Amino acid sequence: MALSQRLEFRQSQALVMTPQLMQAIKLLQLSSLDLAAYVEGELERNPLLERGADDNSPAETSQEPPPPSEGSGDAVAADWAGEEMQTSRSAMEQGLGTELENVFPDDGGGKPAPAEAPPPSYSEWSGSGGASDDYNLEAFVSSQETLGDHLTAQMALAVSDPADRMIAQYLIDMLDEAGYLGGELEILAEKLGTSIARIEAVLATLQTFDPPGVFARTLTECLAIQLRERDRFDPAMQRLVENLALLARRDLPALRRVCGVNDEDLVDMIAEIRNLNPKPGLAFGTSTVQPIVPDVFVKAAPDGTWQVELNADTLPKVLINQRYYAQVSKTTKTDKDKTYIAECFQTATWLVRALDQRAKTILKVSSEIVRQQDAFFARGVEHLRPLNLKTVADAIGMHESTVSRVTANKYMATSRGIFELKYFFTAAIAAADGGESHSAEAVRHRIRQLIDAETVANILSDDTLVEKLRDAGIDIARRTVAKYREAMRIPSSVQRRREKQTAAAGS
């Protein structure tokens, strides 16, 4: 067969990742603070951009370019991969005042070191390419770990239930610098739409975290947690901790009578109390609290639906100065100047359109999340539905990667608090009868209910739990039950039988 050359025309579709499209994808996943910093840099670099009227800048000469029409090349480029992929609480008991300073002398132990300088922003690192007058050694000092960071890292390992993680994060945020829990659990339960028992169960888990004594509500509870951790909370020590007022007054005869011990034992007990830390949280550094600014507000509408709107304060307001562009375009003479002005105008036009498209995409994704999780907003955290990125992406006609970028570092303010958009995505467990899937949270809750209802004569093994769950219409494997049980820190059936037998014998 002879080889020959020929011309052939073919028509095909392809997604071209232009620099602007890649920047737009990056723009979509930025938080409100990072976006503000990015726009600030563009305002400094591009002479055709200026702040909107709400930013106290003159806008009479500015004009926003018309929005891209459907099907235009700019609109396709701006769709960004739509197709391409406490209250503070005193550590001392009320009424004791400064008298307990005799019990816990202020020797400086446990106090935090001075707060370190915050880590440098991106602009500080990229501002110079080498040695300069602005070189600052403090920019290389690492920040000190805070109590919240330390507890959040432990919470990620100890609490796997999404709803319980929400509760745990709320409790962590309610801690003061000393590690004490402020606020009322009843108010938190009403705010989250859950039960006091569930919040107390999460709190019991958090009280086992390091450092010992955190999440206590009183000094007595703080000391009791530390003594339990040391296995020294016997009845005599319990009575001593419950009578700290006598210890502060150094009323040793009264303490001996209350505790039922002799002088030597009382001295040893007081020495143990002195070795405890009444303010465990102060062992960690402190940092400036940066409040979370929600990107989306969700409010109840009069007709019973939910109204979703963007937070206008987090949306950068930039305009193109059309008058200045027309003036400069007439005075430019060299090709280099003309090319520069044309590139500035093109970049400015893209940025304004990209910001508008970003806002519309966030609103679209947030509205679909609210529609999918309507039960959560109406009845509380226990009614979260199983939800994944694909469900939301298919509903709004976008790619999963786009939804993933939108939900990153974005927050939603609701009547139950402020939540990250990713909190509303939970795993699903298939139904045994082929019906509607069950959320992983509901399955874990069901397992805990079954175990809590056990008796000494009827301890449920993991295989028995699987059978009972399948009878309830939940198709689940034994290893999944074991994984959920271990994640909830529930011991095996053998250990539970021993504990219940020991408890029954002791009673």
Q: What is the DSSP string of 90-120?
A: -SSPTTTTTGGGTTS---STTPPPPPPPPPP
Task: Please check the confidence at residue 25 and state whether its pLDDT lies above 90.
Answer: no
List the single range of 164-168, 364-368, 471-475 with lowest mean pLDDT.
Answer: 471-475
Nearest to 292 by CA among 125, 423, 417: 417
Query: Cα(256)–Cα(234) distance, rounded to whole angstroms?
Result: 15
224 burial level (CB within 10 Å; 0-12, 13-18, 19+): buried
By the 10 Å C-beta count (0-12 exposed, 13-18 middle, 19+ buried), 203 is classed as middle
Q: State the chain's mean pLDDT as an integer.
A: 79
Range from 88-97, 184-193, 289-298, 398-407 carrying the lowest mean pLDDT: 88-97
Given a cut of 80, whether residue 438 has pLDDT beyond it is no
pLDDT at 411 over 90: yes
Which tops the pLDDT comparison, 105 or 98?
105
Average confidence (pLDDT) over 58-80: 38
**Among the ranges given (62-76, 157-171, 262-276), the one the predictor scored with the smallest mean pLDDT:** 62-76
What is the structure's pLDDT at 296? 94
The residue that leads in pLDDT, 456 or 297, is 297
Between CA 384 and CA 379 the distance in angstroms is 9
Bigger pLDDT: 13 or 264?
Answer: 264
Distance CA 319, CA 66 (A): 11
In this predicted structure, the answer to whether residue 53 has a pLDDT above a threshold of 70 is no
* Half-sphere exposure (Cβ direction) of 257: Cα atoms closer than 13 Å: 4
Phi, psi of 49 (to 5 degrees): -95, 145
Cα–Cα distance for residue pair 46/348, rounded to 1 Å:
7
Q: Show the tokens assigned to 498.
A: 């021993």
Share of the chain above pLDDT 70, in %: 77
Identify the pLDDT of residue 201: 93
**What's the rounded mean pLDDT across residues 265-286?**
86
Q: Between residues 380 and 168, which one has the greater pLDDT?
A: 168
3-state secondary structure of 174: coil
**Segment of 58-72, 275-289, 366-380 carrying the highest mean pLDDT:** 366-380
**Pairing assessment for the beta strands 428-429 and 318-320 based on DSSP bridges:** unpaired
Above 90 in pLDDT, residue 297? yes
What percent of the chain has pLDDT above 90? Answer: 30
Q: State the pLDDT at residue 112.
A: 39
Query: Helix 19-28 vs helix 335-372: angle between axes, to the nearest 10 degrees?
Result: 40
Q: How confident is the model at residue 79 (pLDDT cuts 50, 70, 90)?
A: very low
| Per-residue model confidence (pLDDT) at position 489 | 85
Compute the radius of gyration of the chain from its Cα atoms. 30
Give me the helix-helix angle, 400-407 and 335-372, nearest 10°. 90
Q: Which of 362, 358, 251 is nearest to 26 (CA)?
A: 358
User: What pLDDT was estimated at residue 464?
Assistant: 92
Most confident of 143-157, 417-431, 458-472: 458-472
**Average pLDDT of 107-120?**
41
Rounded Cα distance, 83 and 204, in Å: 47
Q: What pLDDT, on a 0 to 100 scale, did the predictor assign at position 171?
A: 93
Q: Which residues pair with 310 in a beta bridge?
A: 296
> How far is it, in rounded angstroms, from Cα 184 to Cα 102?
30
The residues that bridge with 145 in the sheet, in sequence order, are none
428-506 has which fold? Arc Repressor Mutant, subunit A (1.10.10)
pLDDT of residue 410: 92
Question: What is the DSSP secondary structure assignment for residue 458, as one 8-state letter?
Answer: B
Is pLDDT above 90 for 85? no
Give residue 502's pLDDT band: very low, low, confident or very high (50, 70, 90): low
pLDDT score of 109 more than 90: no
- Can you give the residue ranges of every domain in the chain? 17-77+293-425, 147-283, 428-506
Tokens of 16: 């071209």
Q: Mean pLDDT throughout 459-463?
A: 92
Of 381, 424, 407, the C-alpha closest to 170 is: 381
| CB distance 286 to 117 below 8 Å | no
Exposed, middle or buried: residue 24 (CB in 10 Å: 0-12, 13-18, 19+)? buried
Structure tokens at 295: 């990107």
What pLDDT does 442 receive? 74
Cβ(504)–Cβ(466) under 8 Å?
no
Which pLDDT score is estimated for 18? 73
Average pLDDT of the residues in 157-176: 90
Res 454 pLDDT > 80: yes
Contact at 8 Å (CB) between 486 and 447?
no
pLDDT for 119 equals 41
What confidence tier does 384 reach under pLDDT thresholds 50, 70, 90? Answer: confident
65-74, 443-452, 463-472: least confidently modelled range = 65-74
